Amino acid sequence: MPSPSILLSVVIPVYNEGAGVLDVLRAVEPPLRACAPSHEILFVDDGSQDDTWAFIRQVCDDRTGVRGIRLTRNFGKEAALWAGLAQARGQAVLVMDGDLQHPPALIPRMIELWQQTGVEVVEAIKMDRGNEKLLHRLGARAFYTLMNRLSGFGLERSSDFKLLDRRAVDQLLRLEERNLFFRGLVAWMGFERLQIPFSVPERAQGRSKWSFPKLAAFFTRSITSFSTLPLQLITLAGLLFLVFALVLGTKVFVQWWMGQAVEGFTTVILLLEIIGSLLMLSLGVIGLYLARIYEEVKRRPRSVIRETLPRSPSLPAASEAAPTDAAGLP
Ligand code: UDP
Ligand code: MG
């Protein structure tokens, strides 16, 4: 629901950022005041267990133009982001992290590019990945190389720091899938994208919310929602084993025909093990896709909103707010 009076909405998903909310607000307000005087800032609290919501409440009370959306529990960054996108009213929406790893100093340039060119997506591209652990860095490289091969979208340097024109936002909100991968879906939409490079600074405070299980889940979810190649690889492996089976079968048959006893108990054990693991791996891959289909067909909302601030007539109060889909669907 765009509003002609609001030029820009800034959506910031936060999870256990505590007083970091104040730091972000202090950092984004000056560039916004200068370049987009009519703006709103939306903090989406993704079920924080600390005092994040108390800080959001405080800034919503103190300032006009700051809004808060509180989800009932931790639904994950992408779901929080979608909840924010669905509530944003600006003609464009700027999406950024709440840990100051997306430098607010880029905001004026992003707005300027959007206004001058009318392009649907202005995105900040990572020149380096900041001070990440070696394992994290290697994992990220493997993930993006695979994603690039599988989906054809080069996302290696891509970040979630993006300015989306209303057309792009509406298009994103029309997507019905529950498994969301923001960067991938923005690339998938195919709109023209202008890119601005930036270096990732250190986190202002707190720690990255990515744990290994969360990363692993994100990895499989992103791959399976963008490519069916792993499924085709199973067919390929099956074909290879068929050829192998034919050759080996012929050999065994000829030996039997010539009256030779078939030898090679070790070979049999080895073959059993190889085929057994391959079968189970293949079942696992099919299972991953099945799980995705299961999640999608349930059509559950992506997140549930507990409370929105400020409580004004234009926004339903918490008690009246039916649990809505992040896309605004009942
Ligand atoms: N975040 C969130 N929900 C989560 C995890 C993270 O809303 O379940 C927010 C977090 O508060 C931050 C942004 O998403 O504003 C980026 O998270 P983080 O810094 O942990 O990711 P990284 O920068 O390490 O990729
Ligand atoms: Mg971060």
Q: Dihedral angle at the C-alpha atoms of 232, 239, 216, 14, nearest 10 degrees?
A: 0
17 in contact with ligand 1, CB cutoff 6 A: yes
Residue 328 Rama label (left phi>0; alpha psi -120 to 50; beta):
left
Question: For residue 209, which atom of ligand 1 is closest to its CA?
Answer: 20
Residue 169, pLDDT above cutoff 90: yes
Residue 168 Rama label (left phi>0; alpha psi -120 to 50; beta):
alpha
45 in contact with ligand 1, CB cutoff 6 A: no
Residue 215, pLDDT above cutoff 90: no
Residue 325, pLDDT above cutoff 60: no
pLDDT at 149: 82
Contact criterion met (CB below 8 Å) for 323 and 199: no
Question: For residue 74, which atom of ligand 1 is closest to its CA?
Answer: 8
- H helices of 179-263, in order, are 182-189, 212-226, 229-257
Ligand closest in space to the Cα of 137? 1
pLDDT at 132: 73
77 in contact with ligand 1, CB cutoff 6 A: yes
Residue of the CA atom closest to atom 3 of ligand 1 = 77
Confidence of residue 202 (pLDDT cuts 50, 70, 90): confident
Percent of the chain at pLDDT exceeding 90: 61
Rounded to 5°, angle at Cα 122 from 119 and 125: 145
98 in contact with ligand 1, CB cutoff 6 A: yes
Question: For residue 210, which atom of ligand 1 is closest to its CA?
Answer: 20
| Residues contacting 231, CB < 8 A, separation 6+ | 285, 286, 289
Distance 217 CA to ligand 1 centre (A): 15
74 in contact with ligand 1, CB cutoff 6 A: yes
Contact criterion met (CB below 8 Å) for 91 and 12: no
pLDDT at 318: 36
Question: For residue 98, which atom of ligand 1 is closest to its CA?
Answer: 15
Alpha carbon distance 125, 323 (integer Å): 35
Tell which one of 21, 209, 211, 218 to mutate to probe ligand 1, the residue whose CB is within 8 A of the most ligand atoms.
209
46 in contact with ligand 1, CB cutoff 6 A: yes
Q: What is the pLDDT of residues 64-75, one digit of tens each?
A: 899 999 999 999
Question: How many residues comprise the chain?
Answer: 330
Burial of 264 (0-12, 13-18, 19+ CB in 10 A): exposed
Confidence of residue 146 (pLDDT cuts 50, 70, 90): confident
Residue of the CA atom closest to atom 2 of ligand 1 = 77
Ligand closest in space to the Cα of 215? 1
pTM: 0.84
Residue 328, pLDDT above cutoff 60: no
Identify the weakest region by mean pLDDT among 135-144, 195-204, 309-318: 309-318
